[in-house]
Amino acid sequence: DGGITQSPKYLFRKEGQNVTLSCEQNLNHDAMYWYRQDPGQGLRLIYYSQIVNDFQKGDIAEGYSVSREKKESFPLTVTSAQKNPTAFYLCASNAISGLPNEQFFGPGTRLTVL
Amino acid sequence: QKEVEQNSGPLSVPEGAIASLNCTYSDRGSQSFFWYRQYSGKSPELIMFIYSNGDKEDGRFTAQLNKASQYVSLLIRDSQPSDSATYLCAVSGAGNNRKLIWGLGTSLAVNP
């Protein structure tokens, strides 16, 4: 079955630590996205990538970093510079041509800072 | 700045009624329009997409698009308690930009 996987489902971080969230897709999509969602809030774009070895900042990139070394993988690192990282993190992907261009989501990672 | 606006709700309807969810967008060049459903603690799942003016029906769901008024809506007929969720409206721009602009979502409660 094609889809998007995210791991871990739950992640706990101590202050000052960097943590990396995994996102893998086997949908053969070129574009991948990372969103952050806070309770009762909408989706805010952190980073996105439309091609391997290239990515762009979204609306709230400060304190985060990404890499796109393979088409299937788009890991997100939450660095110690992110002051309030506790949130629900969602990875998504879509095709870069044709309509519709809906995004498909992974199950999410819930990050809590202790 | 491109924006998508939704009433936050909560919208409360009795079981069996029609739920009407509305969304307006600011970018006249927007091409595709999406409705996602998100249950508490889960990731969003696509319900419907539309990119032509008019209505599009899929089972109990109907999406309506009016590009002149920059307005898209979702109707849920015969609402069920299992429809209780947050509904997110998303809009994509013109050209090769595959990003979606998201509304904050409308919370729907269907009461038995």
A100 prior amide bond cis, ω within 30: yes
Tokens of A36: 């952050």
Q: Is the pLDDT of residue B6 over 90?
A: yes
Task: Give me the pLDDT at residue B94, please.
Answer: 67
pLDDT band at residue A9 using 50, 70 and 90 as cut-offs: very high
Does B1 score more than 90 pLDDT? Answer: no
Please report the pLDDT score of residue B95 as a whole number: 64
* pLDDT, mean of residues A74-78: 97
In chain A, which residues have their Cβ closer than 8 Å to the Cβ of B49?
A: 100, 102
B103/A102 touch (CB, cutoff 8 Å), yes or no: no
Could you read off the pLDDT of B88-99 as tens digits, one per residue?
999 987 666 678
Q: What average pLDDT is seen over chain A?
A: 93
Interchain CB contact of B74 with A (< 8 Å): no
Residue predicted with more confidence, A97 or A113? A113
Q: What average pLDDT does this structure show over A25-34?
A: 95
Helix (H) or strand (E) holding A50: strand A43-51
Residues making up chain A, counted from first to last = 114
Which residues face A43 on adjacent strands?
A37
Average pLDDT over residues B80-106: 89
Whether the bond into A8 is cis, omega within 30 of 0 = yes
Alpha-carbon distance of B111 to B79, in angstroms, equals: 9
> Is A89 within 8 Å of chain B by CB?
no
Res B21 pLDDT > 80:
yes
Query: Token pair 């947050």 is at which residue?
Result: B86
Contact between chains at B42 and A107 (C-beta distance less than 8 A)? yes
Task: Kindly report the nearest CA distance between residue B32 and chain A, in angstroms.
Answer: 7
Residue predicted with more confidence, B111 or A98: B111
In this prediction, residue A1 carries a pLDDT of 62
Residue B81: phi and psi, rounded to 5, are -55, -30
- What's B53's DSSP letter? S
Nearest-CA neighbor of B36 among B110, B109, B106?
Answer: B106
Question: Mean pLDDT across the stretch B17-41?
Answer: 94
Mutate to test the interface with A, among B4, B99, B107 (most CBs of A within 10 A): B99
Distance CA A4, CA B104 (A): 23
CB contact under 8 A, A99 and B31: yes
Which pLDDT belongs to residue A67? 97
